[in-house]
């Protein structure tokens, strides 16, 4: 690329002086895109300058908008050629450009003349063959072999260019090769082109100039058949029939003659107002409306002449007769021309929506045909046509989604003319919903704990309405209890006040449901009602109480004995129906000498297998009493039992228990009392136990052999050996005979006596 710059032009552009823009520049026609035509620098220190290309004469896209850049404190402007540049001095050798420089408020404009110089060494391809579509050449098949068919570039020999055909020319498609001579002439094959009609031959051409420049082009050779020796029509007479409503310019018939490059013309009428003929294609067309009211329009005879373009004397004639038939022009007219109506969904089947009145302007009083065409999914089932009457055909139900749309249809009315004409009457029937059904709701049962907080959600009342849309139901509680409330829109039932299971276990709430969004117009809303049952669930909210809450007991025990110390009496005063309680020892039973059997507190050393205490001991037992019913939560209380345990003495006949209770209204006071007791030696305890067992066995044997009387002495502490018999001072003075429950015999004297197993009293018989 040759970079052309103008002579160094230094423009001192200050805020008050903009001048000295260049006036002209020369450029060679061989310069291509990107060439710098002109550049200059100037100073504009206090502002940001601009450089614009305002105008190009003659108009051209060969010049880019000027660029402006800053370099070493100065601004440098440049003007370059665009990517579409193809300078040709023979075509345009001078361009006038208008430039504008702006620095702040100072604006300077000036012309720039661009002169394009001729470059003898610059060669380029011209002509249509280098265009994308190429050049099409038509030659007859009778052309002389080797004849010149086309000249590619005039003066090609002066440019020193070489031309060659690069595409293949192989048989059998090509009869022989086409050639291009040094003058740029395309020549026919040496074998000629006879018999090649109507073939097309495409030739890719390469033109190479000096300095390695080249261009390519496309030539298409179309071979035309040789002219026939004579022109002839297949038929000398032709008749056609056309309707009178044929639009101007419509085709009526085509006159097609045999021959080469045939042309056509009308001899009679030469310039008629109704018909014309195409000179090249022979198509007869209408020139104006075929109105039968005009004289001679019903039947017209045309004389058509056909001849060869190169030999006009070789011609032939054709008689064409055109018959124009009447046409049914006007479609039926109907009243109403558009049906738009509303009908409520409760209209019965057979309701008349409209009666149509139609008439044919071309033939008043002639019968017409009516057809109903539905355009919506519900149209065919919802509407019907009885003659000219449009009726309701099925129940118009709007109580389901999408079941109440607009019914669109059309009434097609046809006449009996030729061609048949019709009129379409649009029909739009809007079905409006009606509030037909009262809303309903299903009775339900809600359960709520008696300790539920206010605003607790108990459930929802579900109201349903058979009318669509199914929403828009409101809920009310007419005269209902203030303990509950129903949300007006959602139907949620919430708790407002406290509940008490002991006072009222079942509440009944009547809910009124009302629809408000169904139907249109002044229809009144409908309502229904249902009753909700609210069951209160019992909640354990009172702890049990024991009477007395504090007990102090003293017991005397013997080896292996099991004694009931006390039995707790507990209840819930606020809820007498609660009878199930659980008892557990939670404190004081460190040695495990006590256990619970239900509400009974037992002292039992037999389960431990431990030795009896030698000194009196005091146990402060804590008994947890909790309700054991199904209600939650389980509440509990603690009863205190203080037990003074006195060890067994040999002189003690039976275990004794003394009780000291404290009323529930008094504060318990723990008093410790120490009693003296005798603790025998261990050997004495063993001897006494063995002796008692022997005496028991002996007594059993004696009673079995002598009288069969079993003398069993029982007590809560075990068996007691019959005492040594000492004659009382006054026999029978102890108690009467009915107080004795046993009979035995003295082992020493053999004398029988009666005894009481509980008190130990006896008397001789």
Query: How long is the chain?
Result: 765
CB neighbours of residue 26 within 10 Å: 12
Q: What is the model's pLDDT at position 333?
A: 92
* Cα separation, 728 vs 733, whole angstroms: 9
Q: Which CA distances in Å does 300 have to 241, 285, 293, 297, 590? A: 10, 13, 14, 7, 141
Those residues with Cβ within 8 angstroms of residue 476's Cβ, 6 or more apart along the chain or in another chain:
486, 488, 511, 512, 514
Please, are residues 200 and 222 in contact by the beta-carbon 8 Å criterion?
Answer: yes
Q: For residue 633, say if its preceding peptide bond is cis, omega within 30 degrees of 0.
A: yes
Beta bridge partners of 303: 268, 319
Domain covering 128-224 assigned CATH 2.60.40.60 in the classification = yes
> Quick check: 207 and 166 in contact, CB under 8 A?
no
pLDDT (mean) for 212-236: 81
Of the given ranges (192-201, 384-393, 462-471, 628-637), which has the lowest mean pLDDT?
628-637
Alpha-carbon dihedral of residues 271, 274, 277, 278, nearest 10 degrees? 110
- In this structure, of 35-44, 287-296, 529-538, 643-652, the range with the lowest mean pLDDT score is 643-652
Q: How would CATH label the architecture of 333-432?
A: Sandwich (2.60)
Q: What whole-number distance in Å separates Cα of residue 667 and Cα of residue 677? A: 31
CATH among 1.10.10.10, 1.10.10.60, 2.60.40.60, 3.40.50.2300 for 24-117: 2.60.40.60
CA distance 431 to 444: 37
Could you tell me whether strands 67-71 and 74-80 are parallel, antiparallel, or unpaired per DSSP bridges? antiparallel
* Residue ranges with strand state E in 270-405: 275-277, 283-286, 299-308, 315-325, 333-335, 339-344, 352-355, 357-359, 369-374, 383-386, 389-392
From residue 292, give the alpha-carbon distance in Å to each of 243, 244, 248, 298, 322: 10, 7, 15, 6, 13
What is the predicted pLDDT for the residue at 346?
82
Helix (H) or strand (E) holding 290: none
Sign of CA pseudo-dihedral 229, 235, 237, 241? negative
Spatial CA neighbour of 217 closest among 132, 110, 278: 132
Of 51-60, 559-568, 601-610, the poorest mean pLDDT is in 601-610
Neighbouring CB atoms inside 10 A of 593's CB total: 20
Kind of pairing, strands 445-449 and 527-537? parallel
Please tell me if the domain spanning 333-432 has the same topology as the one spanning 440-537: yes
Task: Give the whole-number percent of the chain exceeding pLDDT 70.
Answer: 77
Pick the CATH number of 545-647 from 3.20.20.70, 2.60.40.60, 3.40.30.10, 3.40.50.150: 2.60.40.60
Nearest to 755 by CA among 717, 719, 704, 701: 719
Q: What is the spatial distance between Cα 303 and Cα 277, in angstroms, rounded to a whole number?
A: 11
Phi, psi of 151 (to 5 degrees): -110, 120
Given a cut of 50, whether residue 666 has pLDDT beyond it is no
- Is the model's pLDDT at 678 over the cut of 70? no
What are phi and psi for residue 672, nearest 5 degrees? -100, 125
Beta-bridge partner residues of 315: 307
Is pLDDT larger for residue 259 or for residue 726?
259
Task: Identify which of 43, 38, 49, 50 has the alpha carbon closest to the alpha carbon of residue 12.
Answer: 43
Instruction: Give the C-alpha separation, 294 to 764, whole Å.
Output: 171
Return the H-helix or E-strand segment holding 695. Answer: helix 682-706
Q: Which of 493, 499, 497, 500 is nearest to 446 (CA)?
A: 493
pLDDT in tens, 380-430: 678 888 888 999 888 777 777 666 777 889 999 998 877 788 999 999 988
pLDDT in tens, 554-590: 887 665 556 788 888 888 877 777 778 888 888 888 7
Domain 440-537: which CATH number of 2.70.170.10, 2.60.40.60, 3.10.20.30, 2.40.10.120: 2.60.40.60
For 153-169, what is the mean pLDDT? 72
Domain chopping of the chain, boundaries: 24-117, 128-224, 237-325, 333-432, 440-537, 545-647
Average pLDDT over residues 172-197: 86
SS3 316: strand
- 49-71 mean pLDDT: 88
pLDDT above 90 covers a percentage of the chain that reads: 14
- Bridge-based pairing of strands 492-495 and 484-486 is antiparallel
Cis peptide preceding 200, ω within 30 of 0: no
In sequence order, what are the residues at sequence separation of 6 or more whose Cβ sits closer than 8 angstroms to the Cβ of residue 48? none
Condensed to tens digits (0 to 9), the pLDDT of residues 77-94 reads: 888 988 778 787 766 888
Distance CA 629, CA 200 (A): 111
Which class is 237-325 in CATH? mainly beta
- How confident is the model over 244-260, as pLDDT tens digits? 888 888 999 999 888 87
For residue 549, give the DSSP letter. Answer: S
Nearest to 286 by CA among 303, 300, 306: 300
pLDDT for the residue 156:
57
* SS3 label, residue 381: helix
Query: Alpha-carbon distance 474 to 465, whole Å?
Result: 11
Which residue did the predictor score with more confidence, 726 or 409?
409
pLDDT of residue 741: 63
Within 13 Å and on the Cβ side, how many CA atoms surround 749? Answer: 11
What span, in angstroms and rounded, lies between the C-alpha atoms of 529 and 514? 9
- CA 412/CA 415 separation, integer angstroms: 10
Spatial separation of the C-alpha atoms in residues 545 and 547, rounded to whole Å: 7
Q: What angle do CA 720, 724, 730 make, to 5 degrees?
A: 110
Q: Does position 18 have pLDDT exceeding 50, yes or no?
A: no
Q: Which one is predicted more confidently, 556 or 697?
A: 697
Local structure of residue 312 (DSSP, 8 states): T
Which backbone phi and psi does 738 adopt, to 5 degrees? -70, -10
CB-based contacts of 1: which residues, under 8 Å, 6+ apart? 31, 32, 34, 35
CB burial of residue 472 (10 Å; 0-12, 13-18, 19+): middle
Provide the pLDDT for residue 412: 92
């Amino acid at each position: 690329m040759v970079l052309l710059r103008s002579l160094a032009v230094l423009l001192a552009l200050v805020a008050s002086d903009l001048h000295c823009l260049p006036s002209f520049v020369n450029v060679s026609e061989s310069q291509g895109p990107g060439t710098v035509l002109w550049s200059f620098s100037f100073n504009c220190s206090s502002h940001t300058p601009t450089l614009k290309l305002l105008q190009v004469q003659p108009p051209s896209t060969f010049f880019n908008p000027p660029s402006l850049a800053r370099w070493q404190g100065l601004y440098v402007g440049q003007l370059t050629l665009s990517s579409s540049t193809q300078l040709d001095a023979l075509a345009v050798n001078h361009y006038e450009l208008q430039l504008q420089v702006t620095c702040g408020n100072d604006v300077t404009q000036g012309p720039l003349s661009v002169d394009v110089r001729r470059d003898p060494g610059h060669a380029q391809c011209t002509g249509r063959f280098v265009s994308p579509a190429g050049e099409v050449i038509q030659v007859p098949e009778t052309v002389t072999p080797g004849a010149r068919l086309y000249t590619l570039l005039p003066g090609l020999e002066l440019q020193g260019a070489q031309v060659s055909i690069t595409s293949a020319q192989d048989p059998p498609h090509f009869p022989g090769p086409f050639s291009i001579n040094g003058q740029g002439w395309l020549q026919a094959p040496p074998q000629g082109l006879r018999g090649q009609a109507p073939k097309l031959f495409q030739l890719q051409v390469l033109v190479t100039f000096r300095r390695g420049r080249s261009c390519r082009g496309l030539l298409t050779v179309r071979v035309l058949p040789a002219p026939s020796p004579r022109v002839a029509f297949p038929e000398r007479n032709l008749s056609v029939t056309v309707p009178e409503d044929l639009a101007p310019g419509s085709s009526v018939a085509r006159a097609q003659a045999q021959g080469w490059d045939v042309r056509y013309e009308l001899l009679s009428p030469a310039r008629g107002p109704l018909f014309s003929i195409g000179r090249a294609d022979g198509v007869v067309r209408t020139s104006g409306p075929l109105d039968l009211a005009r004289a001679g329009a019903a039947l017209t005879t045309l004389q058509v002449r056909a001849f060869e373009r190169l030999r006009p004397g070789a011609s032939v004639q054709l008689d064409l007769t055109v018959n124009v038939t009447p046409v049914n022009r006007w479609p039926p007219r109907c009243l109403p021309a558009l049906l738009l109506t509303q009908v409520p969904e409760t209209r019965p089947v057979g309701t008349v929506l409209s009666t149509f009145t139609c008439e044919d302007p071309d033939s008043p009083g002639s019968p017409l045909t009516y057809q109903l065409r539905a355009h919506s999914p519900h149209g065919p089932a919802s509407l019907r046509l009885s003659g000219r009457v449009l009726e309701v055909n099925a129940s118009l139900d709007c109580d389901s989604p999408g079941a109440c749309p607009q019914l669109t249809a059309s009434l097609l009315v046809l006449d009996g003319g030729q061609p048949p004409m019709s009129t379409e009457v649009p029909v739009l029937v809007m079905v409006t919903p009606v509030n037909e059904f009262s809303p309903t709701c299903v009775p339900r049962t809600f359960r709520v704990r008696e300790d539920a907080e206010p605003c607790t959600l108990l459930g929802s009342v579900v109201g349903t309405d058979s009318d669509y849309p199914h929403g828009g139901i409101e809920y009310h509680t007419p005269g209902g209890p203030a303990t509950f409330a129903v949300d007006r829109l959602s139907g949620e039932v919430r708790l407002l006040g406290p509940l008490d299971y002991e006072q009222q276990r079942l509440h009944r709430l009547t809910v009124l449901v009302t629809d408000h969004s169904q139907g249109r117009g002044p229809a009144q809303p409908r309502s229904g009602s249902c009753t909700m049952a609210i069951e209160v669930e019992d909640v354990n909210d009172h702890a049990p109480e024991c009477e007395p809450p504090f007990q102090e007991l003293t017991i005397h025990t013997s080896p292996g004995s099991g004694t009931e110390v006390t039995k707790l009496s507990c209840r819930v005063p606020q809820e007498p129906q609660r009878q199930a309680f659980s008892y557990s020892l939670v404190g004081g039973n460190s040695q495990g000498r006590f256990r619970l059997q239900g509400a009974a507190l037992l002292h039992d050393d037999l389960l431990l297998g431990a030795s009896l205490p030698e000194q009196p001991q005091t146990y402060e037992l804590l008994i947890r009493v909790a309700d054991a019913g199904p209600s939650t939560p389980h509440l509990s209380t603690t009863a205190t039992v203080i037990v003074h345990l006195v060890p067994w003495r040999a002189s003690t006949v039976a275990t004794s228990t003394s009780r000291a209770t404290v009323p529930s209204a008094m504060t318990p006071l723990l008093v410790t009392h120490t009693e003296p007791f005798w603790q025998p030696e261990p050997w004495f305890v063993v001897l006494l136990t063995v002796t008692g067992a022997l005496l028991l066995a002996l007594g059993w044997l004696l009673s079995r052999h002598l009288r069969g009387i079993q003398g069993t002495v029982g007590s809560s502490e075990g068996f007691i050996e019959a005492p040594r018999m000492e004659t009382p001072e006054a026999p029978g003075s102890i108690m009467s005979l009915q107080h004795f429950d046993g009979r035995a015999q003295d082992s020493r004297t053999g004398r029988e006596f009666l005894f009481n197993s509980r008190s130990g009293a006896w008397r001789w018989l």
